[in-house]
Homo-oligomer: A and B are copies of this chain.
Amino acid sequence: MKAVRVHEYHVDPSIDDIPEPTITGPLDVIVKVGGAGVCRTDLHILEGQWAEAMAPELPYVIGHENAGWIAEVGAGVTNVAVGDTVILHPQPSCGLCLACRAGRDMQCSNAFFPGLSSNDGGMAEYLRTTARACVPLDPSTNPADVAALADAGITAYHAVRKAVPLLYPGTTAVVQGAGGLGHIGIQCLAALTATRIVVVDRNPDALALAGKLGADATVVADGTEVEQVKELTKGAGADVVLDFVAEQGAESNAWAMTAPAGSQFVIGYGGELRIPTLDFVAGEKNVIGNIVGTYTDLAELMVLAQAGKVTLHTQQYPLANALDAIHDLDAGKVRGRAILVP
């Protein structure tokens, strides 16, 4: 089969012809890939940024945002059958450790991450993952339409879901960064809460889109964004700041925008937070970490998607043209999410 493989860092991957994956354990499933998202993290992989943390053995297939159809199942698989349409949680978990038993998939002691850890990912015709990664979809769903929810979507949803109890009517939530994740976050906030949604971004086009997706107010990130958020909140700041940027100063702004007793949710990364401990005390403010999401997060998000409450802008490329997609993403030419299709 065809697959996008990284052979060397700082070099384009190649489209190789490799054997199809096979079942190796009772909970394994083989998925015929119907849509594979191209993510900024893929660019970082190519740059070698994940080489140390994940130590994948090269060459390997990238692609960690996938949906498709079940092609084969292991002997212990009972939740999906050949032919089922599925979206895949990016990190298959073991189901047996204490974290799994509590529903905290991302803290699984035995998980792997196809396309990121040393396991072949989904920019290929077929992908091996496990039964525990599979969220069944309505058979009529086109996997390419939803694939981007498997990583970008679940990550935004997870953070919003954790923030819901804080966002009762009368509160304000700031979404900093209305890009790939942020524009999903806005839709999740609008679907799950009646909070006032304020969106901060440098890009006026992104803000215009945000307005259509549910933002109640938008703020151009022109250096005065903290002041603008303060003004919009009578000086108090926002009860919750969902920071999808978290670098280049945005992380400090997010803290400054957070009201007393409020919470800054870190979702993006790249920067460094520097906060005097006195500020945590005086304001009784919190910083909340977030990583991807749980299986139930993804299942819930698919309910929103199938109800039309969360929609995605995608730009499709044939798998054979994967390098175009990667180059376009790198060049900032992709509107919405680039998706590889068979």
Binding site for B on A (CB under 8 A): 25-27, 74-76, 78-79, 94-99, 101-107, 110, 131-132, 161, 164-165, 168-170, 191-194, 243, 246-247, 251, 260-261, 266-291, 294-296, 299-301, 303-304, 307, 309
With A132-B96, A266-B277, A304-B194 known as contacts, the answer to whether A285 contacts B296 (CB < 8 A) is no
User: Apart from A102-B296, A194-B307, what 10 extra A-B contacts exist at CB < 8 Å?
Assistant: A75-B75, A78-B110, A95-B95, A106-B261, A107-B284, A273-B277, A273-B280, A275-B287, A284-B290, A287-B287
Q: Is the CB of A247 within 8 A of B277?
A: yes
Complex contact B270–A272 (CB within 8 A)? no
Q: Which of B76, B168, B251 contacts A26 (CB 8 A)?
A: B76
Q: Is the CB of B269 within 8 A of A281?
A: yes
* Closest chain B residue to A191, Cβ basis: B194
Partner of A170, one of B277, B291, B299: B299
Given A26-B27, A276-B271, the answer on whether A101 and B192 have CB atoms closer than 8 Å is: no
Which of A104, A161, A277, A307 neighbours the largest number of chain B CB atoms within 10 Å of its CB? Answer: A277
B301 A169 Cβ-Cβ under 8 A: yes
Tell me the complex Cα distance, A193–B79, Å: 28
Which residue of chain B has the shortest Cβ distance to A250 in the bound complex? B277
Q: Tell me whether B26 and A75 are in contact (CB under 8 A).
A: yes
A-B contact pairs, 14 of them (CB 8 A): A26-B27, A27-B76, A95-B95, A107-B284, A169-B191, A169-B192, A246-B277, A266-B281, A268-B277, A269-B276, A272-B277, A279-B289, A281-B291, A283-B291
Residue in B closest to A279 when the chains form the complex, CB atoms: B289
Query: Least Cβ distance of A130 to chain B in Å?
Result: 10
Which residue from B74, B103, B278, B284 sits with its C-beta under 8 Å from A106?
B284
